[in-house]
Structure 1
Amino acid sequence: MSTEIPEREISELPAGYRGPNLSPVGLELMPHKFAQDVYALLANIPPKDNNGLIAGSRAALVVDAGITPDISRKIQQAAAGLVAVPVRYLVNTTYHGDHTFGNATFPDDVVIVSSQVNKNNMTDLAYEKQTRSGNMHDHAALLDEITVWRAPDLTFTTYAEIDLGGRVVQLHHFGPGNGPGDTVVYVPDTRTAWTGNFLCHTGVAPMLLQGGPQPYVDSLRRMRETLPNLKTIVPGHGPMGEGRAAIDGLVAYLERLHEEIAASVAVGRTLEETYAACTDPWAEELDPRLAAALTAYPIPAAQARERLRALCRDLHRLNILATYRLYR
């Protein structure tokens, strides 16, 4: 049974897989204020990309850059309208293009920061565009605008701090999760973490794109131990949530996924038999806490629930496939 992290994310998809719609068409950013100069910039249509804005007395920091130049400019315009100090830092929570293609649209004097592992994965623009185009649904042509993939200027291994002037922002790489280099941005004075693809609201399915359940669980446990005062997470996609509940829920999901697929492989089940044998947490209704969080969006709550439930079932089947292939 392998626990090694593949060099590239899985390209095989379950039959009928649609995946998240990350097209920026219709995307607007809704500011949510945690404290003076600390904001979540929430996509109006889940699961399109969220961002963050954190400022001190000297400088501001943006979390993630958006998928196209237009979205990157929209993020920068939002920052200019919300805080009085200039954006000097941009943190990439992952190397994925929907979080990093907008890097090149930020001014040259903005320092881009991420884990070294993320930077290591930012070398093949053509391949990354091809990979993300599957999540653009009917708007893949928008990626033709991306001609430069600007990599981070400054990297770290497991931990770094950025002093914005009276406010210190912590950067953590707890280990592999959705990808090998997931970076978490934590603001201690608001007890808020921007978690990218590493951690979503409890009840939202993860995506095992580049590794298995067991290393991911280890990374989540390190996060839980390192950030005992964590209150709120702002994920890269979907609604904000309570941090400890999100960690505990994802650990439970991944542990069960590991156990069920390891058992299937041990008795020689086929992939189709494994799909049938694995528990589907989204066969019925969404987690009530997640359903309540969806009421904050400017779309009918019932529509938001059904869309997200269908997406989570899709992602769950992808997780089964990825783990089955890894364990065979």
Structure 2
Amino acid sequence: MPMSHIPDREIAERPDGYGGPNLSPTGLRHLPHAFADGVYALMANIPPKDNNGLIAGSRAALVVDAGITPEVSRELQKLAGELTTSPVRYLANTTYHGDHTFGNAQFPDDVVIVTSRANKENMADLAYEKQVRAGNMYGDEAMFDRITTWRTPDLVFDSYAELDLGGRQVQLWHFGPGNGPGDTVVYVPDTRTAWTGNFVCHAGTAHMLLQGGPLPYLDSLRAMRRTLPDLDTIVPGHGSMGDGHAAIDALVGYLERLHEEVAAAVEAGKPLEEVVTTDPWEQGLDPRLAAALSGYGERAQQGMLALCRDLHRLNVLATYRVYTAGHTVETWLST
């Protein structure tokens, strides 16, 4: 599929009554989960607020994502100092979105920020990024008044980069566009764990198509599945940890169905309000996701169910807009 079919920046349109994920850092703390000595998921105590990660070797440590505000960034660095004696030398951005990158500026200048080239290219309009992310702040939009600088990455790669932290290898992969054009996966081979940002979440979770339709996303997911056959666990940017290949397979199935149903509606000349799609959450949360959220209580599970339904409506809208944006449906159906 030609890259020209992918919008230049995130769609700002949202469905009527759309809520979206609550990304406000109010009440947010990060709870360490160890996969091995020096390898930690830093899990948000309130899903779906942002998760992070810490990966340390004998010489250096890497933090996964920077947080949405200076306070979150400082908390992550403090936590890293408590969990490892290795100095933080690297910061990986899994996406360009502000809830993952606005904290970049709070890391010392000698910390090398690394991400895909496409992510850095999308970090060019701070005002627009604050505008689209403000809709997920739930009354805390004023926090963005203090975000005046968007520190961009120092080191970029096209499809693959590798870092040696001292006895621990970290792989960074860009498999292609997904939630955004530059999704970056941070993979630690010795623990078979990947930090996936917004690219892949726990099986049964709704994802967000914000820059492009299902087809390029599907290609990227299949590339990840081929490239990381030994993957065990994913730590997504939001929500619970889970089985990596189960998450990929679930999202592939969802995107295939979304593509087929929306493309058929567009081919039939239906307006957006008449597009009918399968509701994967008609019977409630996927049992695997419900089990993963059980420790957070019934309120968290109901909140996630409502969010998944909202995100599905957004995905239908975004896919419809892409499939009717100046090119023929046959182009998509033949891809």
Within a 5 Å distance, the mapping from 1:115-194 to structure 2 comes to: 115-194=116-195
Choose 261-270 or 97-106, whichever is displaced more.
261-270
- The residue identity in structure 2 corresponding to 1:74 is E
Q: Contact (CA 8 Å) 2:294, 2:301: kept in 1 or not? A: no
Q: How far apart in 2 are the matches of 1:270 and 1:127? A: 28
Give percent identity, aligned residues only: 72
Q: Contact (CA 8 Å) 1:14, 1:318: kept in 2 or not? A: yes
Q: How far apart in 1 are the matches of 2:295 and 2:146? A: 32
1:113-164 CA distance string (max 9 Å, x none): 0000000011111111111111111100011111110000000000000000
Q: How far apart in 1 are the matches of 2:257 and 2:274? A: 17
1:283 Cα deviation from its structure 2 partner: 1.8
SS at match of 1:137: coil
After TM superposition, the runs of 4+ consecutive aligned structure 1 residues lying more than 2 A away are none
1:256-285 CA distance string (max 9 Å, x none): 0000001111111121110xx200111221
Q: How far apart in 2 are the matches of 1:271 and 1:125? A: 31
User: 2:327 is matched with which residue?
Assistant: none
User: 2:101 is matched with which residue?
Assistant: 100
Q: How far apart in 2 are the matches of 1:325 and 1:6? A: 10
SS at match of 1:41: strand
Q: Contact (CA 8 Å) 2:116, 2:157: kept in 1 or not? A: yes
Q: Contact (CA 8 Å) 2:6, 2:322: kept in 1 or not? A: no
User: 2:39 is matched with which residue?
Assistant: 38
Within a 5 Å distance, the mapping from 1:34-113 to structure 2 comes to: 34-113=35-114
1:31-57 CA distance string (max 9 Å, x none): 000000000000000110000000000
Query: What TM-score do the two structures reach when normalised by structure 2?
Result: 0.95
1:25 Cα deviation from its structure 2 partner: 0.3
User: 2:331 is matched with which residue?
Assistant: none
User: 1:324 is matched with which residue?
Assistant: 320
Within a 5 Å distance, the mapping from 1:19-30 to structure 2 comes to: 19-30=20-31
- The residue identity in structure 1 corresponding to 2:129 is E
Whether 1:227 aligns to 2:223 is no
SS at match of 1:34: strand
User: 2:281 is matched with which residue?
Assistant: 282
1:89-136 CA distance string (max 9 Å, x none): 000000000000000000000000000000001111111111111111
Q: How far apart in 1 are the matches of 2:91 and 2:295? A: 27
Whether 1:268 aligns to 2:269 is yes
User: 1:305 is matched with which residue?
Assistant: 301
User: 1:253 is matched with which residue?
Assistant: 254
User: 1:239 is matched with which residue?
Assistant: 240
Q: How far apart in 2 are the matches of 1:307 and 1:192? A: 27
1:155-204 CA distance string (max 9 Å, x none): 00000000000000000000000000000000000000000000000000
The CA RMSD measured in Å over matched residues stands at 1.0
Q: How far apart in 2 are the matches of 1:52 and 1:217? A: 26
Q: How far apart in 2 are the matches of 1:146 and 1:77? A: 20
Q: How far apart in 1 are the matches of 2:57 and 2:199? A: 26
- The residue identity in structure 2 corresponding to 1:325 is R
SS at match of 1:138: coil
For structure 1, list consecutive stretches of 5 or more residues without a partner in the other structure: none
Q: How far apart in 1 are the matches of 2:309 and 2:2? A: 25
Query: What TM-score do the two structures reach when normalised by structure 1?
Result: 0.97
Q: How far apart in 2 are the matches of 1:121 and 1:44? A: 29
Query: Could you say if the C-alpha distance between residues 214 and 14 of structure 1 is closer, same or farther in structure 2, counting changes exceeding 3 Å?
Result: same
Q: How far apart in 2 are the matches of 1:28 and 1:255? A: 36
Q: Contact (CA 8 Å) 1:2, 1:327: kept in 2 or not? A: no
Q: How far apart in 2 are the matches of 1:283 and 1:142? A: 36
User: 1:214 is matched with which residue?
Assistant: 215
SS at match of 2:85: coil
